[in-house]
Structure 1
């Protein structure tokens, strides 16, 4: 239960997203598959494998910059299948950062044609320009990276 004084003094905050989980074929999580996934998502986004969680053929967990933000991949006999643009999203703090990530993904695609890349686009909304690009690599869902350019 913990110390009630500490619990009462800790302000409540709304829930936030902390991970995405996808089922994949066990063959994708063999040593070579894990290495390929770690290489791409590490080079493009800076994610790191949590090796204590990896079990080749069964599970791979990638930390997305913080211990409580991660991508959880689990082997299943009937793995997830998605239409091409099904995705989950992440946000960056600057437009330059969005373009740097896109450039890394484009450079990776130049040497590995399994990278599926959708060029940056801009959506215009009242008071907001939403910049984004999509990239997919070996996993059933793409990653959309967004930058919110608020118009003041």
Structure 2
């Protein structure tokens, strides 16, 4: 079977949402926590904003729409880290950011244990319409290597 990986996800907002200030707030949080780089770009004649991964191979596209997405629950995109220490460090960064901006929403989960597989995870949401599920997986206490590294 051909190799496949995710390339991008588009998130839509009501018209007028992606102001310069809003984009700067998004860049401040997601840049400091995940290292994403925010860039304005034009897509099919519309000014959009993208959050690029460090490798610029994956990105979140932010666009305005007359029919913006709605996600009242825990809809999320999972972000896989290699170790529990990395996940815990990201949680601490999110908590520090939350101390100065209460719009950061965090849901910390107890470990999910299924047989010999343990998932360490928390959800975080800031200004975007979805959560990010920040997690790592361990088998019998040892990290499961991230296949992409």
Q: Does 1:118 align with 2:107?
A: yes
**Corresponding residue pairs, total:** 139
- RMSD (CA atoms): 1.8
Q: Does 1:143 align with 2:128?
A: no
Matched with 2:98 is: 109
Q: Does 1:19 align with 2:8?
A: yes
Q: 1:27 & 1:120 partners in 2: Cα distance?
A: 35
Matched with 2:146 is: none
**Residues 89-104 of structure 1 correspond to what in structure 2 (within 5 A)?**
89-104=78-93
Higher Rg: 1
SS in 2 for 1:33: helix
Q: Does 1:61 align with 2:45?
A: no
Following TM superposition, by how much is the alpha carbon of 1:83 offset from its aligned partner in structure 2, in angstroms? 2.1
Q: 2:17 & 2:95 partners in 1: Cα distance?
A: 22
Q: 1:143 & 1:127 partners in 2: Cα distance?
A: 25
Following TM superposition, by how much is the alpha carbon of 1:25 offset from its aligned partner in structure 2, in angstroms? 2.0
Following TM superposition, by how much is the alpha carbon of 1:106 offset from its aligned partner in structure 2, in angstroms? 0.5
Larger fraction in helix? 1
Q: Which runs of 4+ in 1 moved over 6 A?
A: none
Matched with 1:8 is: none
Matched with 1:41 is: 30
Q: Give the TM-score taking structure 2 as reference length.
A: 0.86
SS in 1 for 2:77: strand
* 1:61-104 C-alpha deviation (Å, 9 max, x unpaired): 01022211111111112211102311111100111110111111
Q: 1:73 & 1:131 partners in 2: Cα distance?
A: 28
Is 122-131 or 25-34 further displaced after alignment?
Answer: 25-34
Q: Give the TM-score taking structure 1 as reference length.
A: 0.84
Following TM superposition, by how much is the alpha carbon of 1:54 offset from its aligned partner in structure 2, in angstroms? 6.3
Q: 1:58 & 1:79 partners in 2: Cα distance?
A: 15
